[in-house]
Amino acid sequence: MSGVWVFKNGVIRLVENPNQSGADTHSRRKVMVYLPTGEVVSSYSTLGQILQGLGWERYFGGGDADLLQFHKRSSIDLISLPKDFTKFNSVYMYDIVVKNPNYFHVRDSH
């Protein structure tokens, strides 16, 4: 994971490759791979099915219409994702990886 952590308005976020041009940043985009099948997660439809198979359920109690959220009844974990899949970046990917060890991997897109 490369980039710069930026703290603004009480929120910390990762800005990936801040010194690269837009074209270079796009070519180094990350993808998340579902390890049991080797499938690259390319949509929320696919991700939702995978997460459901791992015991995650959609959570509608967050109150933010711009987020898709998933929770597990067996834990306090909550996965929050932007509704727009084009905004699904490595920060969200790594959150999923940490909460689902041995099921996902993040790598550079080729």
| pLDDT > 50? residue 23 | no
> Does 15 reside within a domain?
no
The range of the structural domain enclosing residue 104 comes to 27-108
pTM for the model stands at: 0.72
Residue 61 has pLDDT above 80, yes or no: no
Mean pLDDT of 48-64: 90
In a domain, 13, yes or no: no
In this structure, is residue 19 part of a structural domain?
Answer: no
Task: Assess if residue 84 is contained within a domain.
Answer: yes
Q: Is residue 3 part of a domain?
A: no
Phi, psi of 68 (to 5 degrees): -100, 130
Q: How many domains does the chain have?
A: 1
Q: Is residue 31 part of a domain?
A: yes
* Structure tokens, 35: 């390890």
